[in-house]
Amino acid sequence: MSMDDDAHAWEGLCSGEKEALLLLYRKYYHALLFIGLKEIRDADVVKDAIQHLFLYLWDKRDCLEQARNVRSYLIIALLRKLSADWKKSVRHQHLALAWNGDADAPLPTPEEILISRQSQASAQSYLMLHINALPARQRELILLKFYEGLSYEEIVARTGLSYRTIYNKIHEALKKLRTVINKDHPAYGEVMSVLLIWLTMQV
């Protein structure tokens, strides 16, 4: 994906193409999330800010200026929003001024590079289906650790649970999950057994 694609998508957005907005959203969501998470260690706050940013772009699509560097524009707009001068910048300067310093745009985040977009999305979704079938607490723990990248201390602080409680809650369900997956989709049995052992070690 090049800057040309971005410029093209931006044009599409300005002329009201929903698909162009979604294209930019899909392309930059993870970059924005993980850059935001470096500033604020709360994924809910960052995700809300990203939503608001794109809804703002959609609402104002008729009067957006041309973007030279869409990535920088989005990142800087998000960081401004997160640092609470979002409203001020909108009121005084119009959003267009928010990205003039495009030379020092943040580099790709490690997390973006990790995400293998062309990998077997359909097979992965099966794994996700089963992760989603977990009770809320257990799913949350896996997300915090493996996706949002929180440390153990941060997880304990976030959930208010002790390691022991966490372990007790999830151990039994994961065992069951592994059985189900082994039966339906043996290739994922191993991932689940790794998870199970990982969790066992957190006591």
Cβ–Cβ < 8 Å for 139, 131: yes
What is the closest distance, in whole angstroms, from the C-beta atom of residue 139 to other proteins in the complex?
7
Is 149 one of the binding residues for other proteins (CB under 8 A)?
Answer: yes
Q: List the interface residues with other proteins, window 150-169 (CB under 8 A).
A: 151-152
Looking at beta carbons only, is 102 or 154 nearer to other proteins? 154
State whether the Cα torsion 71-75-77-78 is positive or negative: positive
Rounded Cα–Cα distance for residues 87 and 64 (Å):
16
Nearest to 193 by CA among 202, 203, 185, 182: 182
Site string for other proteins, 169-188 (x = CB under 8 A): -----------x---xx---
Q: Look-up: residue for tokens 């977009």?
A: 117
Provide the CA 22 distance to its chain's centre, in angstroms.
15
Please give the residue ranges that form the binding site for other proteins (CB under 8 A).
18-19, 21-23, 25-26, 29-30, 33, 43-44, 47-48, 50-51, 54-55, 58, 110-111, 113-117, 119-133, 135-137, 139-140, 142-143, 146-147, 149, 151-152, 180, 184-185, 190-191, 193-195, 197-198, 201-202
